[in-house]
């Protein structure tokens, strides 16, 4: 009996089978059960994939117990302090930090792709002004494949690289266009003399009537927020991108599918839901009432921005964003009662046995919206900001999956609990 196998005995037949144990670089040893149906004629049952590894990946590692997040082995706090979002996007896709020359080439290519086809701009006019930005982004991103027929062979390395770069280059232009449409202002073209985050701020807030001065505090805050949101291993939206890509769908359709998954309030939609919740709580006096609601099993209310499938400790991103909140809000001279309320809510929750027992801590979404709001970005755009940043992680996982020679179409099984086989009943006998 090898030490690197797990023995499983079927007590109904007495048959024992050994399954290989896979040893990762970091993280839990993992049992390879792919031969289970053939060896023992069984499936496994794991709703929500709580204990199921869907793939092998080299990109990101999370230690939920220690609150550690690594992008290609580099700790998130070091990247947040020393890197830029575009450099992190390069790292996620290529596995190594770029040399100066490599980054300059990458930056130049991204800039050369940042415009969207003029006829794509008319798509926005098809939306009513109060369309949710995520509805617009999902629709417009999915339609991108209609403009690049010449590079959609998913088995062609160059086509895949080109599509990945096009996605990263155009997503800020699309996100800003969603915002401009919602406020009735003209869509602003990208500018190649600006950095990725400077360009996004200019497309969001400049108007033809006057010069827009880009605030370096806002640029630094965006670089940090985008780095922190860039990737997070096999979360719901990234798993959606992978499942969609496993069918051979084009990367624009895959990213649109990920965008749709991220929109949910249990996932990336939480940053918008946190601000709505803080507005609803209103004052420190109301905190106990909402903490009680969050603990009440008969009340569907959850403390938005709290809890995580993987982190059983502080989300390292939440700690970094909380510290940045102080800097951004004081730099912008913003009195921010919502930030004070959030700090108090965090303190009360983390002293409450319900949250402590369940290891529920603030996650990345708890503070991020406060900074977006301080930068003048409306709540409806918060999830679009998350989607913009996560696009580099989505395309990195899509590239990794498409380059895997063992790629198979994703097709989970089920535990069928429906009606047993039966014959059709004529209407007269029903």
* Residue ranges binding ligand SDX (CB under 6 A): 48, 232, 235, 266-268, 270, 294, 302-310, 358, 360, 363-365
Active-site pick, 63, 215, 267, 352: 267
Task: Kindly state the smallest distance separating residue 260's Cβ from ligand SDX, in Å.
Answer: 14
Nearest approach, Cβ of 38 to ligand SDX (angstroms)?
A: 31
What is the nearest approach in angstroms of ligand SDX to the Cβ of residue 300?
Answer: 10
Nearer to ligand SDX, 190 or 305 (CB): 305
Annotated catalytic, 132?
no
Q: Which is nearer to ligand SDX, 181 or 232 (CB)?
A: 232
CB of 254 to ligand SDX, least distance (A): 16
Shortest reach from residue 207's CB to ligand SDX, in Å:
33
The single residue of 107, 231, 315, 365 carrying the catalytic annotation is: 365
**Of 159 and 293, which has the nearer Cβ to ligand SDX?**
293
CA distances from 303 to 70, 236, 277, 287, 380 (A): 27, 19, 8, 11, 19
- Closer Cβ to ligand SDX, 205 or 311, answer by number: 311
- Is 365 catalytic? The answer is yes
Q: Which is nearer to ligand SDX, 83 or 182 (CB)?
A: 83
Catalytic residue among 165, 229, 232, 308: 308
Nearer CB in complex with ligand SDX: 106/339:
339
Provide, rounded to whole angstroms, the least separation between the CB of residue 307 and ligand SDX: 2
**129 in catalytic set:** no
Assess contact for 61 and 248: CB atoms under 8 A: no
Strands 30-31 and 5-10, by their bridges, are unpaired
How far apart, in whole angstroms, are the C-alpha atoms of residue 329 and residue 26? 37
Q: Which is nearer to ligand SDX, 22 or 266 (CB)?
A: 266
Cβ contact 229:389 at 8 Å: yes
Q: Kindly state the smallest distance separating residue 256's Cβ from ligand SDX, in Å.
A: 17
Euclidean distance between CA atoms 77 and 290, whole angstroms? 32
Residues identified as active-site: 267, 308, 365
């Amino acid at each position: 009996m090898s030490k690197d196998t797990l023995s499983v005995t079927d007590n109904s037949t007495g048959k024992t089978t050994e399954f290989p144990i896979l040893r990762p670089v970091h993280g839990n040893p993992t049992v390879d059960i792919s031969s289970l149906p053939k060896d023992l004629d069984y499936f496994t049952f794991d709703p929500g994939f709580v204990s199921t590894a869907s793939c092998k990946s080299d990109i990101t590692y999370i230690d939920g117990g220690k609150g550690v997040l690594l992008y290609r082995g580099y700790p998130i706090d070091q990247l947040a302090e020393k890197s830029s979002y575009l450099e992190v996007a390069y790292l996620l896709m290529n596995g190594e930090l770029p040399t100066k020359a490599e980054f300059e080439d990458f930056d130049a290519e991204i800039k050369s792709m940042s415009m969207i086809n003029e006829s794509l701009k008319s798509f926005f006019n098809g939306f009513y002004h109060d369309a949710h930005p995520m509805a617009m982004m999902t629709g417009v991103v999915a339609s991108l494949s209609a403009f690049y027929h010449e590079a959609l062979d998913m088995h062609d390395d160059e086509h895949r690289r080109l599509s990945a770069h096009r996605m990263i280059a155009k997503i800020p232009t699309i996100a800003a266009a969603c915002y401009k449409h919602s406020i009735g202002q003209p869509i602003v073209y990208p500018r190649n003399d600006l950095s990725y985050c400077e360009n996004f701020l200019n497309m969001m807030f400049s108007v033809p009537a006057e010069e827009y001065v880009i605030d370096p505090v806002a640029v630094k805050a965006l670089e940090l927020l985008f780095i922190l949101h860039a990737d997070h291993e096999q979360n719901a939206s990234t798993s959606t991108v992978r499942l969609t890509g496993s069918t051979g769908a084009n990367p624009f359709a895959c990213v649109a599918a990920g965008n749709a998954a991220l929109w949910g309030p249990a996932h990336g939609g939480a940053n918008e839901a946190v601000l709505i919740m803080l507005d609803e709580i209103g004052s420190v006096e109301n905190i106990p009432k909402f903490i009680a609601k969050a603990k009440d099993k008969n009340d569907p209310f959850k403390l938005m921005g709290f809890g995580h499938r993987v982190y059983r400790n502080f989300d390292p991103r939440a700690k970094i964003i909380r510290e940045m909140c102080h800097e951004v809000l004081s730099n912008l001279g913003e009195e921010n009662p919502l930030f004070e309320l959030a700090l108090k809510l965090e303190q009360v929750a983390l002293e409450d046995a319900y949250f402590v027992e369940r290891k529920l801590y603030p996650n990345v979404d708890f503070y991020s919206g406060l900074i977006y709001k301080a930068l003048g970005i409306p709540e409806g755009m918060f999830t679009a900001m998350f989607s913009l940043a996560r696009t580099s992680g989505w395309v990195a996982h899509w590239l990794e999956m498409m380059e895997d020679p063992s790629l198979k179409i994703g097709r989970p099984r089920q535990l069928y609990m429906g009606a047993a086989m039966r014959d059709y009943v004529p209407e007269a006998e029903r």
